[in-house]
Structure 1
Amino acid sequence: MATNPTNATAAPPLPREVRKPRLSRAEKAEATRARLFEAAIEIVGELGYAGASVALITARANVAQGTFYNYFESRQDLLDQLLPSISERLHELIRQRVMEAPDDPIEREKARLAGFFEFLEKEPHLFKILSEGSVQAPRGFRAHLETQSASYRRALEYERRRGNLLIDDPLEIDILMQMLISTREYLSGRFCYEDGDFVRPAPSVVDTYVKLLRGKVFK
């Protein structure tokens, strides 16, 4: 018996090929620059600043070596930009964690330290880039310190305005800010790395830090 063509099950239409929109020239340039940046971060993290040659960076980024100079004046120019760029990422993550913290000055400070450790886990190359930066990329290192200092100063000024600080003198607040920054960087070097690899610090690291902030260390 012949099949009525009008009753036959119609074959599903073939999926239409979805074409990705072409990147503009500016978007392509930004993508290339980003690849060079990430490649430099990885190589400095693995080999240190001294080992981060233009040849290695461009090879890792899959970019022609001559193209490098379309984006950076020199190898040193790129290296000096690494820490400030990472510093902005760090600031954004910590800002988010502080906003999520309970409305308590100690909890906000706890979130800053825990957020710093979290960032190191996501960006493990930061430690080597930071530890060598003062010598190998002094301009970038100074910019990093200025960014972090300005961020912490704003945080402490916020707590001062709300009556959450026991000190009010601007010089003392500046000293406190430097102490807090130095403490988190020392703690990260002591408890976040073993044989060059990141390890998640024990909860007691943050807990002891909080005890110090609450004045629960000395009798």
Structure 2
Amino acid sequence: MSTIAENRGKQDSARRLNRAEKSEATRNRLFTAAIGIVGEFGYAGTSVARITERAGVAQGTFYNYFESRQDLLDQLLPSISVTLLAHVKEKVAEAEDSPVARERARITGFFEFLEQTPHLFKILHEGEIQAPEGFRRHIALQTVSFERAMEHEFEQGHLPDIAREEIPAISQILLGARQWLSTRFCIKDGEVIQPPPEVIDTYMNLTIRGIFSGKSA
């Protein structure tokens, strides 16, 4: 299955690009190559030589876009995080206008993106140690987005039993649940898969009872 970044690269190559677009396409190729290499070899096995060879560019070209190998590694997770947020936002926009439907869209969108971007597992799990700045930015991006979503539900009166000051902790609990559920249910025989339907149903049942106070889906 093609990743989102690979699909974007194919779209770029389907037409003639101007200089700025060519530069961005080269940068995207370096990102895509790095994502694949980290996914296969881990951060420790990811070198500038491997990245540029896979991207099909000269090693010197790499430094036109990134100050160092570590600079690129620190940008990987935030870049994927932004794409993940856009994917989830699209799913939420397509959902029915109810807090429960939006939350189901958020978690199913996350698992869908994870399946489409399987290397995210290794990038995320090793990132806290190998690319701490990128990991911190990823957590900050996801936290801000989720807290904003919960604030919206709060303002709409959809969290009647929740105090505003509880929203940061609730957001971290729900974000943490996604991470642990994916680790437990989304890997089978070395492949990233969708979790069984009952996993999402159970998550939603707990969310409805504990946060949305019995609102039906």
Same-fold status (TM-score > 0.5): yes
Counterpart-to-counterpart distance in 1, 2:148 and 2:167: 11
Counterpart-to-counterpart distance in 2, 1:170 and 1:160: 7
CA contact (8 A) 2:29 2:55 kept: yes
Tell me: higher relative CO, structure 1 or 2? Use CA pairs within 8 A at least 6 residues apart.
2
Aligned: 1:65 with 2:67: no
Deviation at 1:102, TM superposition (A): 1.2
Deviation at 1:167, TM superposition (A): 4.2
Counterpart-to-counterpart distance in 1, 2:40 and 2:187: 14
Deviations 1:131-155 (A, max 9, x none): 1111111111111111100100110
Counterpart-to-counterpart distance in 2, 1:26 and 1:47: 31
Deviation at 1:107, TM superposition (A): 1.4
Q: For 1:58, give the aligned amino acid.
A: T
Taking the TM superposition and a 5 Å limit, the aligned residue runs for 1:1-219 are 22-215=16-209
TM-score by length of 1: 0.86
The gaps in structure 1 that reach 5 residues or longer are: 1-19
CA contact (8 A) 1:167 1:173 kept: no
Counterpart-to-counterpart distance in 2, 1:38 and 1:68: 13
Aligned length: 197
Counterpart-to-counterpart distance in 1, 2:137 and 2:161: 27
CA contact (8 A) 1:35 1:61 kept: yes
CA contact (8 A) 2:27 2:65 kept: yes
Question: Percent identity at matched positions?
Answer: 59
More helix, by proportion: 2
Q: Which has the larger radius of gyration?
A: 1
